[in-house]
Amino acid sequence: MDRLTALEIFTRILTQFTPVWIGLLLILVVSFVFRRKLGLYGKLFGSSIGTVGLILVLFWILTALLADMIATMDPLTQISGMKNKKPGWPVSGMEGQWYLLGGDNLARDVFSRMVYGSQIVLAIAPAATIFAFMVGITLGLPAGYYGGKFDTMLSFLANLVLAFPVILLFFLLVTPEIRETGVPLVMAGVLFLFPILFFMMLFYSRFKEQTTKLYITLGITLVLGLWAYSGLAFNKDPLGVFYMDPNLLNIFVSVVFVNSPTVFRIVRGLAIDIKTRDYVAAAQTRGESPWYIMLWEVLPNARGPLIVDFCLRIGYTTILLGTLGFFGLGVTPESPDWGMTINEGRKLLAVYPHPALPPTIALMTLVLGLNLLADGLREESLRD
């Protein structure tokens, strides 16, 4: 077999992403047709910047979900004779197979590693950001609403964490030595309780006058929450449904811990502003409980800035995960993590640039998409 030309490589890559193009087209068409019923998401199609960002983000989400259909090779398989081979090189002993973007220094397929690398980023960044928002919202709302000594204490702790440079704090939290001390488990035990507390307060404040619904929702929340909590935080799930690798747990907890203080400050500031509005005073006059006002009056009216910050924060987290991987502090050394792949490729960048460029471009386009999506959401939320 001959080596593929640049046009053939481009055509084959586009073909490999066929499931993504189909999924992307379906999502965009359905979203556009029903855009008037989809709230802020539907209004996003009125912003060209937001639409471009949405397309880029959806592209990588679908790539992560459909990686098995897109990748041409196993990302960990090493094939003899394919070390540092250039893009479009035929695979030794495999008729009709090529390394579309070449081979790395361990003879693995760069294209397949780029595709599977999206799964790692999109498995950690959004989930960890959601947990950070749960922590920040659960603490930020009462701090801003009540004020006083409670607010002062939490604000001091948040500022204390924010005083550390982010990268330095990440390095401190994800090193193997820290994991051996058991600190990540303690942090997980504390931080992973906040989603349970958040949903319990959410349902309690909503259904406290409806006893049957209250008991059902609180019961389901406790059962599912503690089940997931035991597995994710301590690997004690008897059914093995919820599990997190210790190294992944370390990174996950670090992301939540570092992002939570910033989210706390944003939510606190929004709560201080919104609690002075007339509809909050009306709810207080009706005799609504403070948690009902915070969760069902203040929080929904703070959703615009929070959604924008959520998108931006996923982008920041993606960059941080790439940075950790670049310095060898990612999930596992052999994983197709984009940061690790870039680090491995940059060692031979002057001679073989092809292993480092694809994951770099992938990381750049995902973060760019998230930033553009956040800009579009901000633009549309300001029009509301």
Cα atoms found within 13 Å of the Cα of residue 351, Cβ hemisphere only: 8
Return the number of other C-beta atoms located less than 10 Å from residue 47's C-beta: 20
Angle 113-116-121 (CA atoms, 0-180°, nearest 5)? 115
What region, left, alpha or beta, does residue 177 occupy, with left being phi > 0 and alpha being psi -120 to 50 degrees?
A: alpha
Question: pLDDT value at position 26?
Answer: 96
Q: How many domains does the chain have?
A: 1
> Residue 234 falls within a domain, yes or no?
yes
Pair 330, 339: CB distance under 8 Å: yes
Question: Is residue 106, in this structure, part of any structural domain at all?
Answer: no
- Residue 160, number of CB atoms within 10 A of its CB: 10
Is 82 within a domain? no
Place of tokens 């069902």: 296
SS3 7: helix
> CA 270 to CA 301: how far, in whole Å?
9
pLDDT of 384: 58
Q: Is residue 289 part of a domain?
A: yes
- CA 188 – CA 221 distance, rounded (Å): 19
Domain range for 181 is: 119-314
Alpha carbon distance 255, 324 (integer Å): 11
Q: Do 317 and 255 form a contact (C-beta atoms < 8 A)?
A: yes
pLDDT tens over the chain, length 384 residues: 678 888 999 999 999 999 999 999 999 999 988 888 888 788 888 888 989 999 999 999 999 999 999 999 888 888 888 888 888 888 877 777 888 888 888 888 999 999 999 988 888 889 889 999 999 999 999 999 998 899 999 999 999 988 888 777 777 777 777 777 778 888 888 999 999 999 999 999 988 888 899 999 999 999 999 998 988 888 887 777 888 877 778 888 888 998 999 999 999 999 999 998 988 999 888 888 999 999 999 998 888 889 889 988 988 888 888 877 777 666 666 778 888 888 888 777 767 788 889 999 999 999 999 999 988 888 877 665
Q: For position 274, what pLDDT does the model report?
A: 92
Whole-angstrom distance, CA of residue 348 vs CA of residue 85: 12
Cβ proximity of 369 and 60 under 8 Å: yes
In a domain, 105, yes or no: no
Question: Is the CB of residue 355 less than 8 Å from the CB of residue 82?
Answer: no
Single-letter amino acid, residue 222: L
In a domain, residue 41? The reply is no
Closest by alpha carbon to 309, among 374, 383, 243?
374
Residue 333, φ and ψ in degrees, nearest 5: -60, -35
Residue 178 lies in a domain: yes
Unique residue bearing structure tokens 């001390």: 181
Alpha helices in the chain (DSSP H): 6-16, 18-33, 39-43, 48-65, 67-70, 110-146, 148-162, 166-174, 176-181, 183-191, 194-207, 211-234, 246-274, 278-285, 290-293, 303-326, 338-346, 357-383
Q: For residue 84, how many C-alpha atoms fall within 13 Å in the half-sphere facing its CB?
A: 11
Q: What sign does the dihedral 192-194-197-203 (CA atoms) show?
A: negative
Token pair recorded at residue 274: 């919104």
pLDDT score of 263: 94
Residue 198 lies in a domain: yes
